[in-house]
Amino acid sequence: MEGLDEFRKAIAKYGHFFKHARVDKAQAISVEEAQQAIAERARGELDTGVGLEVNVERLASKGLLARWAEEIGGRIGDEVGDAGRAIQAALEGRLEEPGARAMLLAIQAVARAYADMLLERGVGYEPSARCPVCGLESRTMVKRGKWFNMVCHFCGYEWRVSDKMVCPYCGESNPVAVGAYGDRARRVMLAKCHTCNSTWRVIMDETIKAPRILLPLIALKAEQFKVFARLGDGGGDASLEWGQVHAEGGHEE
């Protein structure tokens, strides 16, 4: 997991990319600090020989998950009462329940530690948008040299999808069916598959350096092109085909 200083610098540098998400930057840094501390402790408890879900269950049975959720809850004003109920509510997405948000953030810290341990072995291959670690569906793609990788917004795991642009939802690779919408800078773009009608965000600019957990937020800049994806024709510089965006080139920060 990248350090807190790197997280803080990336928030400051790329915050304008996700300004419409109304992220409380001070709280985000505070939560990141807590998550990094939890992740470091979790590493000694995790077993990559079994799945993430089993590891979470083990940590819950030891009372560690409840303790870590209380630590985060103190930072975000979400008191954890009944840990069992908070875990259930967090996993079911009922974040209005007391302690659910804090518990979800504690589970995320564990998931990030687990994903980091797997990435230490190398980036895996999975030709889909579903995260191989936590099972959630990603909407964020990043270009890494010749590879197009997906990044999970929850656990931060990164995996290779293809060495060319393909739809991570249906596998379509025909450049006539898979297009991207962006501006002249081509830093962050919105991809669309006309076969399955899926859209996803792509960070094309490889000079953008930020912790993996922030990449989905940075990629939100692509949402400004959604109107063109709905119309199917951006017109002028707003619509670019993948044959064009594959071209190599640097970008100004």
Please tell me the least confidently modeled range out of 130-139, 164-173, 175-184, 199-208: 175-184
For residues 136 and 19, the model is more confident at: 136
Give the pLDDT score at 104. Answer: 98
DSSP state of 162: E
- Percent of the chain with pLDDT strictly greater than 70: 90
Locate 200 and state its tokens.
Answer: 């996803």
Average pLDDT of the residues in 144-154: 96
Confidence check: pLDDT of 249 > 50: no
Average pLDDT of the residues in 18-44: 94
Locate 30 and state its tokens.
Answer: 């505070």
Amino acid at 183: D
Give the pLDDT score at 235. Answer: 41
Compute the mean pLDDT over every residue in the chain, rounded to the nearest whole number.
Answer: 90
Give the pLDDT score at 179. Answer: 86
d(C-alpha 65, C-alpha 70), whole Å: 9
- Give the model confidence (pLDDT) of 61-95 as tens digits: 999 999 999 999 999 999 999 999 999 999 999 99
Closest-CA residue to 178 (of 198, 159, 150): 198
Give the pLDDT score at 215. Answer: 97
Residue 232: band (very low, low, confident or very high) from pLDDT cuts 50, 70, 90:
low
d(C-alpha 183, C-alpha 40), whole Å: 40
Give the pLDDT score at 2. Answer: 84
d(C-alpha 144, C-alpha 42), whole Å: 29
Confidence check: pLDDT of 170 > 90: yes
Average pLDDT of the residues in 27-45: 97
Give the pLDDT score at 231. Answer: 63
Please tell me the least confidently modeled range out of 39-43, 98-102, 157-161, 246-250: 246-250
Report phi then psi at 50, rounded to 5.
-125, 170
> In order of start, what are the domains of the chain with their CATH numbers?
4-119 (no CATH), 124-245 (3.90.1670.10)
DSSP 182-234: --TT-SEEEEEETTT--EEEEE--TT----GGGHHHHGGGGGGGHHHHHHT--
Beta-sheet strand order (sheet of 178-181): 124-125, 158-162, 147-151, 140-144, 199-203, 188-193, 178-181, 239-240
Confidence check: pLDDT of 242 > 80: no
- Enter the pTM of the model: 0.89
Confidence check: pLDDT of 236 > 50: no
Locate 98 and state its tokens.
Answer: 């007391």
